[in-house]
């Protein structure tokens, strides 16, 4: 555990896990075995990290999603009560943000690869062994299947499904089921 790192109450860190300097692991977080968490990472309360995971510097896991509703020309904040689940063998690049679900979890399934500078919104589910390149943005409640490839700077609108083994090219804007 590196200098300046804080680990909250009732959190669990598995065997042979390395946590870099100036990380924040909030309360009730579970981190598995053989995990590498690089400096400056923040893992918010209730998050679940599997075994053999790599999380690079500056990543934030479990931040609140963009949960707002317009009421009488004013924005009303909707609390996010869900959490984030990162399954085994996932690699997450630097400065990635993965929002907690509103009521259900946001899930990154086994073996997924997320490059640097990616945003995963609330209640998203990323399938096993799917890979996304830099600057991908996935809006809330989108389901991405297994073994998909998503090119850099692609944007996915929320509340739809990307099927298994789909390919989304760089800078694509996806607004319906694939």
Please list the active-site residues.
122
Q: Are 87 and 109 contacting, i.e. CB atoms less than 8 angstroms apart?
A: yes
Q: What angle do CA 81, 86, 88 make, to 5 degrees?
A: 155
* Contact criterion met (CB below 8 Å) for 63 and 101: no
Angle value at C-alpha 13, between 8 and 19, nearest 5 degrees: 85
Rounded to whole angstroms, how far apart are CA atoms 101 and 166?
24
Counting DSSP H helices and E strands in the chain, the numbers are 0, 27
Give the Cα separation of 132 and 137 in Å (integer): 9
Dihedral sign for Cα atoms in the order 34, 94, 79, 141: negative
HSE toward the beta carbon, residue 103, CA cutoff 13 A: 1
């Amino acid at each position: 555990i590196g200098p300046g790192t804080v680990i909250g109450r009732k959190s669990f860190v598995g065997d042979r896990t390395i946590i870099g300097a100036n990380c924040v692991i909030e309360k009730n977080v579970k981190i598995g075995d053989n995990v590498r968490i690089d400096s400056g990472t923040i893992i918010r309360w209730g998050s679940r990290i599997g075994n053999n995971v790599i999380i690079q510097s500056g990543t934030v896991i479990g931040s609140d999603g963009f949960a707002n509703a317009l009421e009488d020309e004013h924005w009303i904040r909707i609390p996010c009560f869900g959490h984030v689940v990162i399954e085994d063998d996932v690699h997450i690049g630097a400065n990635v943000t993965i929002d907690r679900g509103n009521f259900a979890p946001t899930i990154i399934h086994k073996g997924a690869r997320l490059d640097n500078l990616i945003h995963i919104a609330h209640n998203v589910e990323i399938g096993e062994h799917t890979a996304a390149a830099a600057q991908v943005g996935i809006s809330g409640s989108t389901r991405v299947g297994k073994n998909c490839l998503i090119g850099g700077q692609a944007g996915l609108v929320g509340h739809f499904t990307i099927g298994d083994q789909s390919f989304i090219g760089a800078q694509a804007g996806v607004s319906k089921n694939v």
